Amino acid sequence: MKEDPSTIRGAEALMLGELLTLPQNFGNIFLGETFSSYISVHNDSSQVVKDILVKADLQTSSQRLNLSASNNAVTELKPESCIDDVIHHEVKEIGTHILVCAVSYTTQAGEKLYFRKFFKFQTDEVFLEAQIQNITTSSMFMEKVSLESSMMYNVAELNTVETEDEGTSTFGKMSYLQPMDTRQYLYCLKPKPEFAEKAGVIKGVTVIGKLDIVWKTNLGERGRLQTSQLQRMAPGYGDVRLSLEMIPDTVNLEEPFDITCKITNCSERTMDLVLEMCNTCSIHWCGVSGRQLGKVSPSASLALPLKLLSSVQGLQSISGLRLTDTFLKRTYEYDDIAQVCVVCPYMSRES
């Protein structure tokens, strides 16, 4: 951490390690789980700064949520001091979530400064919990409780513990449900690859499947219950979705590197797209801006390899892509797509 240019000075002495440092894309979190994060703003300058406002928002596909415990500005922050906050959020939507941390402050010279950082996580999988209760006055034997998924999803039952020989039920060998007892059955649903790649197909209210429950009474009589089709609200991506297929974690300063984007037409009409690449103060795109990408049919995708370089060290945000639909003369802006760590390959190490 001491040699990492994106790490604040003195952080290596805290012995936090990389496990407590949030990366730009920190994997998956599951629907229903609680996302918690510790946010620390550290003044690593030699001056006192004033009117510090720390704001943490969570951007989902449908809304922007304020997770900050307080929206009041801190009067001053002395050198080597910190402002700490812990945020929590119960994940209730599927799709990409972006944690946006924004900090504004005033220097001793009266200059107002502002910066932001973005952290992303995915919720591609859906977890379904079915609670089943025996409301009769006698015991019943649970012969089968299964989820029959729809054609768009693959389902995995999470009600067994896998051993070397075979799977063992989490409810034990004797699958009896006593009067007024309740069991929780858990299932994991994931979109099939042929549907997951077509964002325009899985949208709005979609059917995920139905539960099939079979039991026997204490006299051996069989009963069966099949639910109606269960539904969920799929995430929305707008007319055009831009996602990253490949990006390096670390690149060298002022050396070109490659990324691969995927553009998906999520609308119900054909689009004729033009790509514009706008440079920022640190990110510089290589190639021709304003080139035609051609027509993209509804639910179709195209891979877009791009080359760029960074002129500034540290954690840099990739921004500046613009897609214009020539049919409707509508422009879609894509900023803060991802972040990349830029290092200097010629930096000499201190002995």
Contact partners, residue 110, CB within 8 Å, separation at least 6: none
Which backbone phi and psi does 194 adopt, to 5 degrees? -70, -20
351 located within any domain: no
- Residue ending a domain, among 217, 233, 249, is 233
More confident residue, 2 or 171: 171
348 located within any domain: no
- Residue ending a domain, among 213, 233, 253, is 233
Say what the pTM is: 0.42
Mean residue pLDDT of the chain comes to 82
Q: Is the pLDDT of residue 159 over 60?
A: yes
Mean pLDDT of 325-338: 87
Mean pLDDT of 287-293: 92
Do 18 and 88 belong together in one domain? yes
Mean pLDDT of 169-179: 83
pLDDT for 19: 41
pLDDT for 28: 67
Mean pLDDT of 146-172: 81
Pairwise CA distance, residues 38 & 252, whole Å: 30
166 located within any domain: yes
Pairwise CA distance, residues 273 & 242, whole Å: 12
Q: Is the pLDDT of residue 155 over 80?
A: yes
5 located within any domain: no
Do 244 and 337 belong together in one domain? yes
Q: Is the pLDDT of residue 17 over 70?
A: no
pLDDT for 298: 85
pLDDT for 236: 56
262 located within any domain: yes
pLDDT for 85: 86
Domain span including residue 322: 240-343
pLDDT for 277: 94
Q: Sorting pLDDT into bands at 50, 70 and 90, what band is 20?
A: very low
327 located within any domain: yes
Number of domains observed in the structure of the chain: 3
CATH at residue 208: 2.60.40
Do 50 and 146 belong together in one domain? no
pLDDT for 290: 92
349 located within any domain: no
Q: Sorting pLDDT into bands at 50, 70 and 90, what band is 15?
A: very low
For 42-67, what is each residue's pLDDT tens digit?
A: 888 889 999 999 988 888 767 788 88
Out of 98-112, 151-165, 306-320, 330-344, which region has the weakest mean confidence (pLDDT)? 151-165
Pairwise CA distance, residues 176 & 15, whole Å: 51
More confident residue, 334 or 163: 334
Out of 101-105, 242-246, 320-324, which region has the weakest mean confidence (pLDDT)? 242-246
195 located within any domain: yes
Do 115 and 148 belong together in one domain? no
Do 66 and 164 belong together in one domain? no
Let me know how long the chain is.
351
Do 20 and 116 belong together in one domain? yes
For 176-186, what is each residue's pLDDT tens digit?
A: 889 999 989 89
What percentage of the chain carries pLDDT values higher than 70?
A: 82
